[in-house]
Amino acid sequence: MGNSYDLGVIGAGPAGYTAALHAAANGQKVVIFEKDNLGGVCLNKGCIPTKSILHSSELYKKIKNSQQFGLTAENVKLDYNKVIERKNQTVERLRKGLELAFKNAKIEVIKSEAKIVSSNEIEAEGIIYNCGKIICAIGSSPRLVKGLEFDHEFLLSSDDILNLESLPKSILIVGSGAIGIEWARIFSNFGVETTIVELASHLLPLADIEVSKRVERIFKFEKIKFHLETCVEKIENKKITLSNGEIICPEKVLVCVGRTPNSVDIVGGVSYIGDVSGEIQLAHYASKQALNVVENISMRKDLIPSVVYGTPEIAWVGKREQDVEGQDYKKSNLLVSSLGKAQCDGETEGFIKILSQNNKIIGAHIVSAEASSLIQQIVIAMQNNISTDKLKEVCFAHPTYSEGIFEALFRL
């Protein structure tokens, strides 16, 4: 039958496209349904476009402050339209790469909304597709908050913020998770007056307490204002009253207090992966879920690394110090400023913190340049149960940020 497939996938984000490509590589006949652009939120409205804009903002800031490196740059101008143009080109390039990968793998792509009829049937535009197995990976959407409903003009979602044609003079960011922190850095780098409101007692509340405190210190230095244990009490004519009594009048408000799984009727026998599963909302976790379902490759949910981008990067894995309070554990904390590479690069802010029990690493928290790469070394060690003594036998290159991990091991 023309409409019979081994695997049917709804949603072409990291979870969906990983599942489709790996199933096709294993010889399965695959059909994938996507009502929007291939790549999902991550490629089109999340990780990739945000990192592209963030990189431009950091380059702008570095060029403006290049005198310390013996370089003088005059008449440095920001063309935000070009920043957005480059972001769009980056997304388009990656999307075309994904389209080509699908074509080469002979995956049929149906650009339409799809509905699961049964554990083996998908309907799209009145056509029934029979599938041996179905994977639903329809993602998530920005979470709505009562009183802060998006109007897409003044109150913006993380989707809206990517479509700004010009930078505001001031912005209020509600929420200081990864999205809030990264956009605060972007706007601050571009010279926008930036304020954060966070309901928790610290910025980046999911992080280790020491990481949160360091981010707060960095933001104070960068003149990014923030109000902790505070919420938006009321909005009248774009005048915002905070619960601490403060009144601010930002040009724009970015509301980023998490994401909500897209609604779907659960059908028995169907695999629900990625953000829609309501578990860890990270692109790399979604991809691992796909590999688990399609290739039966196991994963450790407790060892999924988290990364917040910008300068310096922030990354962590495993247990936080507040999780092991009262237990018998060891801790090392190495200042990045002690590393030769950091001094050479002028990237001296941050630390490498390792927690251990019984000669094994149980958690790591890094605020440093290249933290996104450094954390992966720790993940590999933890996942393979390598003792701290064994890790000390590894030769780390010099000068690198990685040798900070090596030095930290000797302080446990």
Q: Are 33 and 132 in contact (CB under 8 A)?
A: no
Q: Are strands 4-10 and 30-33 parallel, antiparallel or unpaired?
A: parallel
**The residue type at 143:** R
Q: Which residues are catalytic?
A: 398
Starting from the edge strand earliest in sequence, which strands make up the sheet with 252-255, in order?
155-156, 252-255, 170-174, 193-198, 225-228
Query: What distance in Å separates the CA atoms of residue 14 and residue 28, rounded to the nearest whole number?
Result: 19
AA identity, residue 207: A
| Residue in the block written with tokens 């919420």 | 231
Tokens linked to 350: 């941050």
Provide the H-helix boundaries in 243-282. Answer: none
> 58 exposed, middle or buried (CB, 10 Å; 0-12, 13-18, 19+)?
middle
**Strand duo 30-33 + 115-118: pairing:** unpaired
Helix/strand/coil for 7:
strand
Provide the 3-class DSSP secondary structure of residue 130: strand
Peptide bond into 312 cis (omega under 30): yes
Q: Both tokens of residue 138?
A: 């329809």
Residue 16 has which token pair?
Answer: 């969906």
- Beta-strand ranges (E) seen in 244-394 are 247-248, 252-255, 259-261, 271-272, 306-308, 313-318, 330-335, 351-357, 360-368
| CA separation for the pair 370, 190 (Å, rounded) | 22
What is the C-alpha to C-alpha distance for residues 352 and 320, in angstroms, rounded to an integer?
13
Cβ atoms 188, 223 nearer than 8 A: yes
